Structure 1
């Protein structure tokens, strides 16, 4: 409303200025013709005098308009050249461009859009470089181990027990490479324009119970106490994707909980959403780790050995899957006091913007 009033005020002022300019130019044309008539002692007919005055007034008016337009076009050309140069530099990879903002300028929206585009592309380029660096590091580490141990085995001067240990390490590192490859493909799939999403109604409590049973050898080996509170809960979601979420979160809780520790898994229902809470008495994490835990390749505990070290992609995949379901995941943790992961999901994911398009295929 205020903006409309402001625009109306500007137009009114512009119209008044135009009328004043026209009146002044007509008065000037009258003075000029009167001076010429007196100089040459000419007394034309009144109608001819009015016609000459009008023609001269129009000429002066359009001449002034031409000068103003020419000046305005030159300024606009300079401004457009600035925009073109900025876009050209962005296309060449310079994302540090920031055009100066002029308040109430007609191109302010374009300036803001170019600045925002440069900032977003710069952020994406930084993420791309970090991603390539992380992938290279994660792949290079197991490859170096495999190459080193394979060289030792090739020389053939090792006792059988040592050879077996080296082969086990090579197998572990090979599996880690395979996991990195699979998780990268999974992340790429989830971040695509049409990610895999096939929702159906199913019992969430039964799904989580199945995952707990699958992980039974791991938590029995560490003599963990698993406490569950899983009331009957029906949800509409992609059953396969959500199974990966629970598998990853429960597996992490088992991995980072010491022997004889405790893990609580529960479901709480709200009006239009449900919460799955996974709480453990594990090693916990710092506040800084909590800010980065869902980033690709981030590892809160970098001191883990190769048998327990993951790829650093699991929680990134978890977050993508939950966001695909229009949900959210939160973590609360303190060092040496355990961690709590809270997953919030809507009961019905039919409101997902890509659901109808994906389900119809």
Structure 2
């Protein structure tokens, strides 16, 4: 409690004592107007005793009123916490009035409101997550069930049977990839995920990833324009490998046959900058702010035809955040997309 607060409280007590004494004096003065007056000493004792009783009664009433208000505040807070415990996260306490009055529970009310808002946000994310997962799982399961039923037809030709089996295999692979990405993203977002930064050559890693994906870009007769400066960084090599696989695979997936992908690596001060530019379908401006969200698909119709779970770029963003980096997107529909990844080198240059 501050010095001025103490002085203010002492002044209030003295004012109350003075007021009670004045009231007691007025009462005794009026009383002795109707009965014989005793001596001055007796009158003084009676007046002070009455003042003391009035003071005690006043303090009692003030305390009871404050306790009643405090009890109301406690009951309101307890009821709010009870509602939150039952799963009602839309609770909103009126903390402004208490804060304006410098009430000690004002900050507690603010904390409860903030907690309820965060829990409500997390609940909405949970429901959206479950809805998205259910949707992504339902589609391949429906295909698998449909074609499995069709395979029971004895009149089916060998060619049709083979085609249906390939579709079932493709949808099963898609389910497996979805499960793998979900586990990967969940693990990355947990506090216990391994993070083991070590020095290594980033240019060598990029070349290895590009070579491992050669069957995909060769199948589409794509041109790979690569310009990689020799550069060492300190980072988690396994996580960074996942990052480049996801980004480059995404570019290959959304770039038409005969297209071109340019990959550049250069050093900018204490940072490594990787620029990945393609001549693919591009991303609408209104979608660019959301492409790193879970399950977000910029072009639903095209995404369905090329597959994908909508988790790859969410994993990319999480890995970049873990390394203290950033990713920027420049894109126009029909003209391609440029991704610029900036990662700290992780050592003094």
Give the structure-1-normalised TM-score: 0.88
What pairs with 1:7-86 in structure 2 (closer than 5 Å)? 12-36=7-31, 39-44=34-39, 46=41, 50-86=44-80
In structure 2, C-alpha distance between the alignment counterparts of 1:254 and 1:300, rounded to whole Å: 16
Give the Å deviation of 1:138.
0.9
Asked if 1:222 is matched to 2:220, the reply is yes
The residue number in structure 2 matching 1:354 is: none
In structure 1, C-alpha distance between the alignment counterparts of 2:324 and 2:194, rounded to whole Å: 14
The residue number in structure 2 matching 1:190 is: 188
Contact 1:326 1:349 in 2 (8 A): no
Contact 2:231 2:266 in 1 (8 A): no
Give the Å deviation of 1:291.
2.1
Flag structure 1 segments of 5+ consecutive residues without an equivalent.
351-361
Residue 272 of structure 2 aligns to a residue whose secondary structure is strand
Q: Bigger CA drift: 9-18 or 255-264?
A: 9-18
Residue 24 of structure 1 aligns to a residue whose secondary structure is helix
| 1:211/1:19 CA distance change after superposition, 3 Å | same
Residue 164 of structure 2 aligns to a residue whose secondary structure is helix
Q: Deviations over 1:71-118 (max 9, x none)?
A: 111122222222222222222222222222315131332222222222
- Number of aligned pairs? 344
Q: 2:340 aligns with which of 336, 339, 342?
A: 342
Residue 264 of structure 1 aligns to a residue whose secondary structure is strand
Contact 1:96 1:118 in 2 (8 A): yes
Contact 1:269 1:275 in 2 (8 A): yes
The residue number in structure 2 matching 1:89 is: 83
Q: Deviations over 1:172-191 (max 9, x none)?
A: 01111111111111111111
In structure 2, C-alpha distance between the alignment counterparts of 1:252 and 1:85, rounded to whole Å: 50
Q: CA RMSD, aligned part only?
A: 2.4
Give the Å deviation of 1:16.
2.8
Asked if 1:104 is matched to 2:100, the reply is yes
Contact 1:237 1:349 in 2 (8 A): no
Contact 1:294 1:316 in 2 (8 A): yes
In structure 2, C-alpha distance between the alignment counterparts of 1:305 and 1:319, rounded to whole Å: 19
Q: 1:250 aligns with which of 244, 248, 251?
A: 248
In structure 2, C-alpha distance between the alignment counterparts of 1:120 and 1:190, rounded to whole Å: 21
Give the Å deviation of 1:146.
0.8
Q: 1:314 aligns with which of 306, 312, 321?
A: 312
| 1:249/1:27 CA distance change after superposition, 3 Å | same
Give the Å deviation of 1:53.
4.1
In structure 2, C-alpha distance between the alignment counterparts of 1:308 and 1:255, rounded to whole Å: 7
Q: Bigger CA drift: 279-288 or 261-270?
A: 261-270
Q: Bigger CA drift: 128-137 or 16-25?
A: 16-25
Q: Bigger CA drift: 49-58 or 242-251?
A: 49-58
Give the structure-2-normalised TM-score: 0.90
| 1:305/1:231 CA distance change after superposition, 3 Å | closer
